[in-house]
Structure 1
Amino acid sequence: MQELNDILNLIDSYLGSSFWFPYVLIGTGLFFTIYLKFPQIRYFGFALRVVKGKFDKSDDEGDTSHFQALATALSGTVGTGNIAGVALAIHIGGPAALFWMLVTAAVGMCTKFVEVTLSHKYREKTSDGTMAGGPMYFMKNKMNMKWLAAAFAVATVLSSFGTGSLPQINSISNTLNATFGINHMLTGAVLAVLLGFVIIGGIHRIAKVTEKLVPSMALIYFVGAFAVILYNYDQIIPSFISIFADLFTGSSATGGFLGASIAFAFNKGVGRGLFSNEAGQGSAPIAHASAKGHEPISEGMVAILEPFIDTIVICTITGLVLLSSGVWSEKHVNDFQMSDLTILEQLDISDQTEEGKKVLYDYIAGTGTLPLYNGGLIADDGKLISSATFVHARSLAEEVKVTKNGKLFSGETQIVDGRPVDPEIGFTGKSLVHSAPLTALAFGRGFFGEGGTYIVSIGILLFAFSTAISWSYYGDRAMTFLFGNGSVIYFRIVYVIGFFVASFTDTTIIWSLAGIAIAVMTLPNLFGLLYLRKDMKQTLDDFWIGFKNEYPDEKTPE
């Protein structure tokens, strides 16, 4: 598993985690923000009127209403990125990473407007009478680049697993196991059956489920989140200050957190921001292409609301929960994941001194080296007899105990290059925690006490499950584009099986895979948007001319 994760991280280092990827993503959004004169601000109020159905017509072609399309797209974006992704971004990049998530969302509102408009404009009706759209259709029908369209469709299928299926069930099973002790495979099996039941009904059943699921899950999550924020009201202002204080210097070390450079905060903030709201990835346009409408701009305006709700509202709330509760920089007892663990020779080092913090940070950041442990590691009833230093989850681990098959271990186990040879050997102790378990800990620091962790479990279950539902639709539209309607059933079978298998797979592997899938889908989509920039502007100008002629008494933002 570690070798696989190393390979995935190497690939991702040239794509989503590369220095240039955030600049391409944000740069595209900034270009269209200026080119179209800040549509995410000017059209925000108008978008609310559209989503309410004010300008709908009875003969509009499509499969879903504006609200259903928005709910389906939101259910695809509001998932583990909002709960686990924010926690991972702050864990790696510190509070400053949250700022870059919000910047990504602000420019992403414009990117989403453009990609949805073009996808809706060049959508097609399939042989079964349903609508099919997305970037692959404007690449084929307008750009005449069938090879690029096919490449994007393949990337969409891969991303449906890397973004929509695998990390979602992984976070669900990990959280339910940590909170209720439910077996990972049992969680995966039950939810895989439910997933199969929902997606077999296609977009009509998916839309009916998501339009009820999204408002319900948001309400539950908000109640739990504000129970923490208000309970720690004295930390609200310091939390906001911490987001901006180290913005241009990187996040300072505090507690068990060893600090992060500005590059880390920027890269992880943008990366997690994209994983959260998917602006520029080209996924949500597939859902919006099913919406009823006689022109594409209005659906593009509806899409402006997505990054605002998903990231600016929900991710900010999650970030405030994490920061105000203080759990993000504290060490907690947890089971160590091997992909996050390195065993070093015994070192006379502490993370409570400036010198120790620097040595440890340099090692974790890859700019320094420390001697890896090689040889036998002896334990008695879980307690270490041999001397060694453990680094887990980017922190110096404490009170480490050795286990085998979940039970305290006595005897000797071999360590090679800092990792145990025996796959049944595990370790527990105190270290920093990331992803969904960190958010669960934060929710336990509010008015509901430990009961707050149940809200995260319920939130993860609803958020992530709804994301898996929506991404199944994205994948089957891509399969329809590539191989026709007959291929969809085979895709759904593999999708459900993969969903089950990921319930008991290492979390770090899943996140690494998701990062790659996002990048290989995003890059051709951004190229297509820039290629069709003049088409987009002309479509927008034509819309307002037609709108003013049809609704002369309506106030417009133009």
Structure 2
Amino acid sequence: MEELTNVVAAINSVVWGVPMLIMILGVGLFLMVGLGFMPILKLPTGFKLLWKGRSSNSDGDITPFNALMTSLSATIGTGNIAGVATAIALGGPGALFWMWCTALVGMATKYSEAVCAVTYREKDGNGNYVGGPMYYIKNGLSKKWAWLGTLFAIFGSVAGFGIGNGVQANSVADALDSSFGISPMVTGIVLMILVGAVLVGGIKRISDVAGKLVPLMALFYIAAGLGVMITHASAIPDAYALILSSAFTPVAAQGGFAGAAVWAAIRFGVARGVFSNEAGLGSAPIAHAAAKTKNPVKQGLVAMLGTFIDTIIVCSITGFAIILSGEWTSGATGAALTSQAFGSTFSMGNVIVAIALAIFAFTTILGWSFYCEKCVQYLFGIKAIKPFRIIWVLAVPVGAMSSLNFIWLLADTLNAMMAIPNLIALVLLSPVVFKLTRDYFSGKDITIKD
């Protein structure tokens, strides 16, 4: 087992190393430039479409709004609380700046993913729309690339059980145990029942729950974070200055902070940013492919908001709370650091973080269940859906009560490997994305005909 762990750890250091981070940022920048910086310039348009997309009569299974909420249910998770804290604890305040950079170019990546997902989606044997990297590789590229789609589906179906199930359940169990003394076994059983009740209804039930729960949980957490920022309002200019200076100059050791080089700020900022918003990993377009729309560009404009909301808003709230409170020098890391930051401002701060973490992780289990299910369905057909859902539900209490060091390492590695076939496909399909975008904004009809 130790040898296997060492092998996976070695692979992990490569797939989350310099080449991968350059690849993710490079493809995002290439798409952003090719789109003429449209994702940034048309951000208000995206929010207008999101508001209008609460209902839709177009072909599809869920509304454009709920498609984004389903995507956000998977992306707004432990990465927004524990991931940001880890990035700052290891890379210093400058890591937050590099998370912002990752998010800005990631908006172009997420936009392109959704455009391709709607353009190349198809209907399965149950009459439901399915799509994502495996489908836009299969339907958008020549047959010689088909193996890439299969590879993505294999990585996604395995990674989901760790990163989208076991790790999330474990995070909920740990948070509720440390804050309220609730047994991990009890948490695991309750989570299993709740997840099972939602999964029975498929994507429509998942999207309905996400459409109600995600906005509420995000607003709750943002409000608490703004409370921390308001309390330390006079220090905000200095915090901005510290973030910017730390992004380009080494941070000396102080308090419990061990110090960090610029490279550490870049590496942990980019890696945790990608882990949080998932731009480039290829997971979110699986949800957007099910949207009730025939216009891929409109869904792309809605999809790119996921990266903006996840990183520019929610992750920034966490980052500023940690920096403004001064807890980033305490030596703590992960969710414990975020809990200390909120706890130093509110007497119930640790409870707020525990509740937020529990809800974030629960919705992540739901969102990733759909991603993983579609990967399994691509590999084995619709007959695999029911067995998958049973196994997924049963895996929840196991994750809540187990030590997940190896599972986390394996899932984190496979999660990064999902990006490789997806990024290759996005580059090869970029001419299609650019053309559809130009046509849409020039007033041409680009609706997809079934």
Output one character per residue of 1:190-247: Cα deviation in whole Å (capped at 9) or x when no partner: 1122111111210110011000001110121122212222223343233222211122
1:472 counterpart letter in structure 2 = S
Matches of residues 476-495 of structure 1 in structure 2 within 5 Å? 476-495=373-392
For residue 467 of structure 1, what is the aligned residue in structure 2? 364
Q: 1:514 to 1:182 in 2, by over 3 A?
A: same
Secondary structure of the 2:52 match is coil
More helix by share: 2
Q: Is residue 115 from structure 1 mapped to residue 113 from structure 2 by the alignment? A: yes
Secondary structure of the 1:290 match is coil
Q: Is residue 73 from structure 1 mapped to residue 71 from structure 2 by the alignment? A: yes
Output one character per residue of 1:450-477: Cα deviation in whole Å (capped at 9) or x when no partner: x111111110111110011010001111
CA distance in structure 2 between the aligned counterparts of 1:519 and 1:214, rounded to whole angstroms: 25
CA distance in structure 1 between the aligned counterparts of 2:234 and 2:132, rounded to whole angstroms: 46
- Worse-matched range after superposition: 167-176 or 119-128: 167-176
For residue 138 of structure 1, what is the aligned residue in structure 2? 136
1:41 counterpart letter in structure 2 = I
CA distance in structure 2 between the aligned counterparts of 1:327 and 1:467, rounded to whole angstroms: 27
CA distance in structure 1 between the aligned counterparts of 2:87 and 2:162, rounded to whole angstroms: 18
Q: Is residue 25 from structure 1 mapped to residue 60 from structure 2 by the alignment? A: no
CA distance in structure 1 between the aligned counterparts of 2:291 and 2:181, rounded to whole angstroms: 41
Matches of residues 141-540 of structure 1 in structure 2 within 5 Å? 141-143=139-141, 144=143, 145-330=145-330, 432-446=331-345, 448-449=346-347, 451-506=348-403, 508-509=405-406, 511-540=408-437
Secondary structure of the 1:52 match is helix
Contact 1:246 / 1:252 at 8 angstroms: preserved in 2? no
CA distance in structure 2 between the aligned counterparts of 1:42 and 1:246, rounded to whole angstroms: 28
Q: Percent identity?
A: 41
1:66 counterpart letter in structure 2 = P
Q: 1:544 to 1:454 in 2, by over 3 A?
A: same
Contact 1:171 / 1:436 at 8 angstroms: preserved in 2? no
- Worse-matched range after superposition: 281-290 or 176-185: 176-185
Secondary structure of the 1:129 match is coil
Q: 1:322 to 1:51 in 2, by over 3 A?
A: same
Q: 1:117 to 1:269 in 2, by over 3 A?
A: same
Q: CA deviation at 1:7?
A: 4.1
Contact 1:175 / 1:437 at 8 angstroms: preserved in 2? no
For residue 354 of structure 1, what is the aligned residue in structure 2? none
Q: CA deviation at 1:533?
A: 1.4
Secondary structure of the 1:246 match is helix
Gaps of 5+ in 1: 331-431, 551-558
1:116 counterpart letter in structure 2 = A
Q: Is residue 128 from structure 1 mapped to residue 126 from structure 2 by the alignment? A: yes
CA distance in structure 2 between the aligned counterparts of 1:192 and 1:461, rounded to whole angstroms: 14
Contact 1:251 / 1:265 at 8 angstroms: preserved in 2? no
1:71 counterpart letter in structure 2 = M
For residue 47 of structure 2, what is the aligned residue in structure 1? 48
Output one character per residue of 1:230-265: Cα deviation in whole Å (capped at 9) or x when no partner: 223343233222211122233321111111122222
Output one character per residue of 1:342-371: Cα deviation in whole Å (capped at 9) or x when no partner: xxxxxxxxxxxxxxxxxxxxxxxxxxxxxx
Secondary structure of the 2:332 match is coil
For residue 93 of structure 1, what is the aligned residue in structure 2? 91
| TM-score normalized by the length of structure 2 | 0.94
Contact 1:76 / 1:466 at 8 angstroms: preserved in 2? yes
1:536 counterpart letter in structure 2 = V
Q: CA deviation at 1:541?
A: 2.5
Contact 2:439 / 2:445 at 8 angstroms: preserved in 1? no
CA distance in structure 1 between the aligned counterparts of 2:407 and 2:256, rounded to whole angstroms: 25
CA distance in structure 2 between the aligned counterparts of 1:8 and 1:264, rounded to whole angstroms: 22
Q: 1:246 to 1:302 in 2, by over 3 A?
A: same
2:227 counterpart letter in structure 1 = A
Secondary structure of the 2:230 match is helix
1:98 counterpart letter in structure 2 = L
Q: 1:151 to 1:300 in 2, by over 3 A?
A: same
Root-mean-square deviation (Å): 2.0
Contact 2:56 / 2:64 at 8 angstroms: preserved in 1? no
Q: CA deviation at 1:39?
A: 1.6
Q: CA deviation at 1:482?
A: 1.0
- Worse-matched range after superposition: 247-256 or 538-547: 538-547
- Worse-matched range after superposition: 495-504 or 527-536: 495-504
Matches of residues 537-556 of structure 1 in structure 2 within 5 Å? 537-547=434-444
More strand by share: 1
Over alpha carbons, which structure has the higher Rg? Answer: 1
What number of residue pairs does the alignment pair up? 445
Q: 1:216 to 1:257 in 2, by over 3 A?
A: same
For residue 399 of structure 1, what is the aligned residue in structure 2? none
2:340 counterpart letter in structure 1 = L
Q: CA deviation at 1:98?
A: 1.1
CA distance in structure 1 between the aligned counterparts of 2:279 and 2:404, rounded to whole angstroms: 24
CA distance in structure 1 between the aligned counterparts of 2:446 and 2:396, rounded to whole angstroms: 50
Q: CA deviation at 1:67?
A: 0.6
- Worse-matched range after superposition: 1-10 or 466-475: 1-10
- Worse-matched range after superposition: 187-196 or 80-89: 187-196
2:332 counterpart letter in structure 1 = V
| TM-score normalized by the length of structure 1 | 0.76
Output one character per residue of 1:259-293: Cα deviation in whole Å (capped at 9) or x when no partner: 11222221111110011100011101000000011
Q: CA deviation at 1:57?
A: 6.3
